[in-house]
Amino acid sequence: MWLKKFLAVILAVTLLPLVLLGCSSNTPDPGGQNNAGQGELKTLHVFSGAGLRKPMDDIGVAFEDKYGVKIEYTYAGSAQNLSQLELSGEGDVYVPGSMYYYEAGKEKGLVDAKKDVAYHIPIIAVPKGNPAGIETLEDLGKDNVKVVMGDEKAAAIGKVAQKILEENGLTASVAANTVAKTATVNELVVYLTMKQADASIIWEDNVAGIEDIEIVEIAEEKNQIKTIPVCTVSNSEKKELAQQFVDFVVSEEGKNHFKNHGFKPVQ
């Protein structure tokens, strides 16, 4: 009799961990991500222009809070991001700094239909105090003025700035004064705040609220105001989720994040 009881105790001790394991597997985890592979589906990779970082960071946080989806960003010049999309064949959403790069991606079959979120307005930015006395576009070509520009082969602002200069007959004079070209708009801000240049053509939203930089507006008839598009990537394996993010970016909530950082939202 004692032997049967002893064997029963041994059997109960042996089976208890298995019973507990079985119960554990049927209990939902706190995050509700109990299914295999679900974690992967809860992440989106977004290629965004570097100059859009502030509103896109805020949108990423808001989207994750609302839908439980983590947004992983790659911030770079719009041309660099487009090249990465083409070479890697990966990514879920593309947000370039101007329509030019969207159209280039569309021609290559890299992106899908777009939606518009906000306007990019070029201005002339100068260090605080405007030491070179810059008041107009023409002043960028005056003697002894040091200009820093975005690289037209890498950054949307670089291509737009060159177009502005070309259409106003200032290409040669400003080129003679250009001391550096940068791959991203954020590097232009550094040059100006460090007073390593007298002026730059830059997006208005990128310098809004920066105490060490002043804004000189470009006359509307001489300017090139651009629209910021948002689109899904054609090769995305999470197309439905990517489209949900695009829709969120262009929603009233998403546009408010752009507005909070000095952009003019598309109506």
Set out the domains of the chain in order of their start, with CATH numbers.
44-119+227-265 (3.40.190.10), 122-222 (3.40.190.10)
DSSP tally for the chain: helices H, then strands E? 11, 11
Q: Do the beta carbons of residue 124 and residue 134 sit within 8 Å?
A: yes
Q: What ranges make up the beta strands (E) of 37-172?
A: 43-49, 70-76, 93-95, 111-120, 122-127, 147-150
pLDDT at 42: 85
240 contact partners, CB below 8 Å, separation of at least 6 = none
Q: What angle do CA 21, 24, 29 make, to 5 degrees?
A: 150
Residues in a beta bridge with 178: 147
What pTM was computed for the model? Answer: 0.73
pLDDT at 209: 86
199 contact partners, CB below 8 Å, separation of at least 6 = 124, 125, 126, 132, 134, 139, 140, 145, 146, 147, 148, 192, 216
pLDDT at 41: 52
- By CB atoms closer than 10 A (0-12, 13-18, 19+), residue 90 is middle
Q: What angle do CA 48, 174, 181 make, to 5 degrees?
A: 35
| Cα separation, 52 vs 50, whole angstroms | 5
Find the length of the chain. Answer: 267
pLDDT at 2: 40
Q: Do the beta carbons of residue 82 and residue 96 sit within 8 Å?
A: yes
Could you list the pLDDT tens digit for every one of the 267 residues in the chain? 443 443 343 344 344 343 333 333 333 333 333 333 444 558 999 999 998 999 999 999 999 999 999 999 999 999 999 999 999 999 999 999 999 999 999 999 999 999 999 998 999 999 999 999 999 999 999 999 999 999 999 988 999 999 999 999 999 999 999 999 999 988 999 999 999 999 999 999 889 889 999 999 999 999 999 999 999 999 999 999 999 999 999 999 999 999 999 899 999
Half-sphere exposure of 88 (CA within 13 A, CB side): 14
